[in-house]
Structure 1
Amino acid sequence: MSDMMQHQIDAYVRREMLPEQEPPVTERGIVKWMRENLFSNVTNAIMTLIAILAVYLILTATLPWLLNGIWDAPSIRACREILQGEVGGCFAVLTERWNQLLFGFKYPDTEYWRPTLAFVLLFVAAAPVMFYKYTPRVMLFFTALYPFLAYWLIWGGTILTPVFALLGFVAGYVVWTVLVKRSFAGAFFGSIAAAVVTWWIGGMITGAMATENTLLIAVQSRDMGGFMLNLILGTVCVSLSLPIGIALALGRQSSMPIIKWICVIFIEFIRGVPLITLLFVANVVLAYFLPPGTTFDLILRVIIMITMFASAYIAEVIRGGLAALPTGQYEAANSLGLDYPQSMRLIILPQALKISIPGIVNVAVGLFKDTTLVSVISMFDLVGMIRGPILASTEWNGVYWELLGFAALLFFVVCYGISQYSQWLERELNTDHR
């Protein structure tokens, strides 16, 4: 009986491992991905087919226009003669007018290397701030010097102007470090006075020593244009609006009524006024409030207005980040014996800024795209160049899609880069699951 039972057990129990087999076709590779993501149910399958049809129609309409494009022609009429009725874009306008699209039509041709070098050095200067974990801290010295170097490269003229501008900030910092331990208000106003006096003395010396024998040819602000102008306005205004927005957000939460209401009125007024109105104020109205004969650079006026506009929005974004922090964080800072500046710098602001990254990036992207509004006040940025000198010329009157598509591509590359960096930064600062 036992031998019979053992024989039955041997008949049903396998004593050798089966060789490994590949999973079914529906459970591996591209078929599995499509089944799970594109055709998981009837609704998703229908939506996938509709999307494929839409992509097909778009490609069949645009690919012939791109592939048959003309890149070498002196005018739009020559493009049409070459195409002979076929579908194709006249991209020759980009090869003929690329310098005007990027640098404007008045910037000297022989000096294009200067804004190009300033643009390349921008990444070097931004690296210690944007990728602080992976760059040596000694590079921060170049980051501090870059604004003055970039100004000299783009505008040219005597090097004394950026040198005295830098010395003004150095003098203000020295006075601040000396007086801050005695009185915060005295250090604040003393540093401002030291910087203003240094700039005033530097202005007199620069004016007295002005000469034509400069290392770089001076270029006036009215000669700036093209995408270079958009980059200048976007970079400067975003860089300035972030610290000003932080100060406004903290001032709005201040316990001192005067400071609080000044910040509240400023934020609410600026947020309630369209940016184009502020640009018209910078272009026209502001001149009426200046003494007769006073010259106030238009780019500087526009930078001030755009910075004010962006600062108000960033202040509200950061205020939301501050409000999102639990009160326990403030109590923890007080329990450690930290004063207000220390608690904000070490505990509160790092957390609030991390929360506010998506909102800050949203404001920065919107601000960079809004720099195209300067075209309505006769500043020839990228859009202003397209709408003005290029389309007004008889050679390229009628070329719209090619020029506007090129402008859209440039803005998309910059804005997409900003967005991708913000997502990377959020992942770097995410310590919740580590």
Structure 2
Amino acid sequence: MSDTQPISYVRDTMLGQQEPPATQRGVVKWLRENLFSNWLNSILTLAALVAIYLILTSVGPWLLNSIWDAESLRECRDILDGTPGACFAVITDRWHQLLFGFYPPEHYWRPVLALVLLLIALAPILFAELPRKMLYFSAVFPFIGYHLLWGGSVWFPISVFLGFVAGYIAFRALAKVSALVSVIGAVAATLVWWFFIAGPFDAAMYSVAPIGLEFVRSESFGGFLISLVIGVTGISLSLPLGILLALGRQSDMLFVKTVCVVFIEFIRGVPLITLLFTASLLLNYFLPPGTNFDLILRVIIMVTLFAAAYMAEVIRGGLAALPKGQYEAADALGLDYWKAQRLIIMPQALKISIPGIVNTFISLFKDTTLVVFIGLLDPLGLSNAIRADTAWTGIYWELFIFIGALFFIFCFSMSRYSMYLERKLKTDHR
């Protein structure tokens, strides 16, 4: 064979790029891979489509034929004239009660402003890209939020804040002695300030400069306002308390470990509704006569303790999942216990525990509806009060759809943030 003779089975020109088959691209490919990948998935997809069709044909006309402007359920029915339709006029008429309870209408701006400031305070905690200086505002927001919601003397939240300042000063002053002594001194200084100095300081400052907002009693709180107050406070406090309980349960000190184990097992073995009844009825029996301990504060304490016990077990699971080599590496670096926990152990344990932590947060937020059993009117409690009005007697679904939608927005947001955080902290390449 000569060198110039072409080889028949070797192509001397390149083929142009061609479109993939119709079954391997676009919507058809997505449907094949996700909905019709095999016979079982195909049957389940068709069954789901039939179910969705039946739901839409049943509920769709009812929702599309909604009435938003009426004074009563009877007026809604007169407008509908026998045709199926939702009477969302109850939301238009009573939305302020569902959101604010019996909070004075002229002061609605206060909880609204507190919510806006809460979002600003949470932003640097949830998103590390924001300036770290914003954390100073996050630290003082609880005192600002309390004053906006309850009002009263502006010097009261300031005096409470100064208690933390006194504790910090004591901690720094005793830091050279030992870590344990500095912690005990900080706690003692804070408690001494709160119990013996905060009251006289508040009274003295208010007599000199009577600055503050109109006081709103806790009995006026209700609706989603009370759910947010209890839920956000419980979530914020249960995480650090749960971390301490988890570390205490793994401690080598017998007394600390025993206290933490007994607390966790007792709280987890008692229903939350029992703790709420304890906060409502029994806690006053253990307080000095004449003590006026706010009911919402009692509920917040019990809800926080309840969530902290579950949080401790979630975090303990994250600690148990860490390889032993991480602890040995911290020891090899010469780190003491708290530095090892802060720099090596706890960041990894919290990363592992993110799904469980957020699940506990969501469960806590939904459990705030249980306060209706101790006389606090959450959204569900207010729905019963609204239905007791003769104008809206007999209405159910519209109220529950609205309440469920608001709870879904909050819980779904927490779930999506959890997924965002997991993706951001993912360091492996699987």
Aligned residue in 1 for 2:265: 268
Check whether the contact 2:68–2:88 (CA below 8 A) recurs between aligned residues: yes
Code of the residue aligned with 1:423 in structure 2: it is M
Q: Deviations over 1:324-364 (max 9, x none)?
A: 11111111111111111111111111111111111111111
Alpha-carbon distance in structure 1 between the residues aligned to 2:186 and 2:249: 23
Code of the residue aligned with 2:316 in structure 1: it is R
| 197, 202, 205: which one aligns with 2:198 | 202
Aligned residue in 2 for 1:402: 398
Code of the residue aligned with 2:305 in structure 1: it is M
Aligned residue in 2 for 1:238: 235
Aligned residue in 2 for 1:413: 409
SS in 2 for 1:395: helix
Distance 1:342 1:33, change over 3 A: same
Aligned residue in 2 for 1:149: 144
* TM-score of the superposed pair, with normalisation by structure 2: 0.96
Alpha-carbon distance in structure 1 between the residues aligned to 2:166 and 2:212: 26
Aligned residue in 2 for 1:77: 74
Aligned residue in 2 for 1:286: 283
Code of the residue aligned with 1:203 in structure 2: it is G
Q: Deviations over 1:373-400 (max 9, x none)?
A: 000111011111112x211111111111
Instruction: For residue 14 of structure 1, report the CA deviation from its aligned partner.
Output: 4.7
Q: Deviations over 1:193-249 (max 9, x none)?
A: 221232232212324555796442111111111101000100000110111111111
| 119, 125, 128: which one aligns with 1:129 | 125
Q: Deviations over 1:90-143 (max 9, x none)?
A: 0000010010000002x11011111111111111111111111x1111111101
Q: Deviations over 1:262-319 (max 9, x none)?
A: 1110000000000000000000011112222111000010001001100000001111
Q: How does 1:107-126 map to 2 (within 5 A)?
A: 107-126=103-122
Aligned residue in 1 for 2:154: 159
Q: Deviations over 1:35-91 (max 9, x none)?
A: 222222222211111111011111111111111010000000100100011111000
Q: Are residue 171 (structure 1) and residue 166 (structure 2) matched?
A: yes
The CA RMSD measured in Å over matched residues stands at: 1.8
Aligned residue in 2 for 1:138: 133
Q: How does 1:386-401 map to 2 (within 5 A)?
A: 386-387=383-384, 389-401=385-397
Structure 1 unaligned segments of length 5 or more: list them.
none
Check whether the contact 2:280–2:374 (CA below 8 A) recurs between aligned residues: yes
Moved more, 95-104 or 18-27: 18-27
Q: How does 1:60-75 map to 2 (within 5 A)?
A: 60-75=57-72
| 360, 373, 380: which one aligns with 1:376 | 373
Alpha-carbon distance in structure 2 between the residues aligned to 1:22 and 1:343: 57
Q: How does 1:328-343 map to 2 (within 5 A)?
A: 328-343=325-340
Identity of aligned residues (%): 60
Alpha-carbon distance in structure 1 between the residues aligned to 2:333 and 2:307: 35
Alpha-carbon distance in structure 2 between the residues aligned to 1:299 and 1:18: 76
Check whether the contact 2:159–2:201 (CA below 8 A) recurs between aligned residues: no
Aligned residue in 2 for 1:86: 83
Instruction: For residue 175 of structure 1, report the CA deviation from its aligned partner.
Output: 0.8
Code of the residue aligned with 2:185 in structure 1: it is G
Alpha-carbon distance in structure 1 between the residues aligned to 2:188 and 2:245: 22
Alpha-carbon distance in structure 1 between the residues aligned to 2:180 and 2:11: 87
Instruction: For residue 157 of structure 1, report the CA deviation from its aligned partner.
Output: 1.4
Structure 2 unaligned segments of length 5 or more: list them.
none
Moved more, 208-217 or 146-155: 208-217
Alpha-carbon distance in structure 2 between the residues aligned to 1:257 and 1:381: 42
Distance 1:371 1:27, change over 3 A: same
Alpha-carbon distance in structure 2 between the residues aligned to 1:350 and 1:175: 28
* TM-score of the superposed pair, with normalisation by structure 1: 0.95
* Count of matched residue positions in the alignment of Structure 1 and Structure 2: 428
Alpha-carbon distance in structure 1 between the residues aligned to 2:282 and 2:11: 93
